[in-house]
Amino acid sequence: MRTVVPLFVLAVAGACSQLVFLKPPSVPRKRGSSSTVHGSAFASESAPPRASVNENTDWPMYNRGYDGTRFSPLAQITAANVSSLVPACTFPLGVKANMQTGLVAVDGTLYFTTATDTYAIDAATCALRWRHGYDYDPKPPFDPNKVNRGVAYLAGPDGARLFRGANDGRVMALDAGTGEELWSAVAGDPSKGETFPAAPIAWNGMVFMGNAGGDNFAVKGRLMAFDAKTVDASGAFISFRKMGKRRRRGRPARSAFQKSAAHPGHHTRSIRPPALCTHRREMPRPISSRRCAPGAISTRTQWSGSTRTKEL
């Protein structure tokens, strides 16, 4: 076994080096156009950059925290007063859209998305701060749901950034204060049915993103990482299990579609911080020592890998 495992890791690393989306294309893929509109609540004088988010009041990512529990310590809303809640404000989109976005709330601003647009509004008044619009060119040939599930917020000494996917095979970064597009990277091939509706996760200077399409077009699910500042690909993970690989007694045999497909990567991941490993007995189910390594990424029970070594 000591000789087999290193060979397996080398084989995976070799496969990653051949992935098209990690290499400069010989013919640059056509890119859609983007624009940013500022609203009445836009702050013309930018505030000092936030070096970190407030762990008690902010909701900076799809699952709130890297552990993916979605637990909030706020106690203002209780079982006793929840029935008396009324809308404080509303924000009309002005367009028809399939809404599956998860709200991100940081420092009094709400961030959310549609398939093509990203919004920032005042959390108290619902007044628009800015809207970033992206127009596909060309439109993705396979995009049955036309959804996006949100952004990831990453604060730092040089400013805060938002990250999201687009269903024409791209991942992009926006300035959280102005809505201006900072970079846009090719992450997949929409002609094969690869789309990117998931909310990314941003951690330790990297942006992690997975593709969708395995459930509809039998494409292989992948997870990839990009440098948050320079957009350089910093690694790739491609070890999602085949759908229906293990057949339980009494279940029908796999179809040809299931044999060719792999679990899609369109769900937001969780990262196991050291604190969870220290208190793993309090978790609802045991976590292996490998998955508890600082920086381990979890995809439920399907797969885990190290964000430092890029090993699976």
Q: What is the CATH number of the domain that holds 131?
A: 2.140.10.10
Residue 84 lies inside a defined structural domain of this protein: no
Q: What's the pLDDT score for residue 17?
A: 34
CA nearest 186: which of 215, 209, 216, 219?
209
In a domain, 40, yes or no: yes
126 and 89 Cβ atoms separated by less than 8 Å: yes
Cα 198 from Cα 90, distance rounded (Å):
25
> Domain for residue 295, yes or no?
no
Domain extent for 35? 31-68+95-269
Structure tokens at 55: 């762990």
SS3 content of the chain, % helix, strand, coil (to 5): 15, 25, 60
Please report where in the chains the tokens 């299990």 appear, as a residue: 241
Number of domains comprising the chain: 1
Do the Cβ atoms of 21 and 187 come closer than 8 Å?
A: yes
What are the tokens at 76? 């203002």
Residue with token string 């009445």: 40
Query: Is 278 a member of any domain?
Result: no
> Tokens for 22?
């990690």
Task: Report which secondary-structure segment, H or E, holds 175.
Answer: strand 170-175
**Cα dist. 60→63, 106, 211, 258, 309 in Å?**
8, 6, 21, 36, 26
Instruction: Check residue 211 and give its pLDDT.
Output: 87
Among 42, 57, 56, 59, which residue's Cα sits nearest to residue 101? 59
User: For residues 136 and 196, is the Cβ–Cβ distance under 8 A?
Assistant: no
Per-residue tokens: 221 = 């699910």
SS3 199: coil
Return all residues near 310 (Cβ < 8 A) that are at least 6 apart.
Answer: 13, 16, 235, 236, 237
pLDDT at residue 30, as a whole number: 77
Give the three-class secondary structure for 201: strand
Does residue 291 lie in a domain region?
Answer: no
User: Token match 């997870």: residue?
Assistant: 223
What end-to-end distance do the CA atoms of the chain give, in Å? 16
pLDDT of 306: 43
Phi first, then psi, for residue 126 (nearest 5°) are 65, 20
Q: What is the DSSP letter of 281?
A: G
User: Which ranges of the chain have pLDDT less than 50?
Assistant: 1-26, 235-248, 250-252, 254, 257-262, 276, 278-291, 299-312
Question: By three-state DSSP, how is residue 102 classified?
Answer: coil
**Has residue 209 been placed in a domain?**
yes
In this prediction, residue 49 carries a pLDDT of: 53
Domain-embedded: residue 283: no
Q: What DSSP designation does 59 have?
A: B
Say if CB 298 and CB 272 are below 8 A apart. yes
Nearest to 216 by CA among 151, 260, 251: 260
Phi, psi angles (nearest 5°) of residue 37 = -115, 135
Please state, in angstroms and rounded to a whole number, the distance separating the CA atoms of residues 73 and 303. Answer: 29
The verdict on residue 104 lying in a domain is: yes
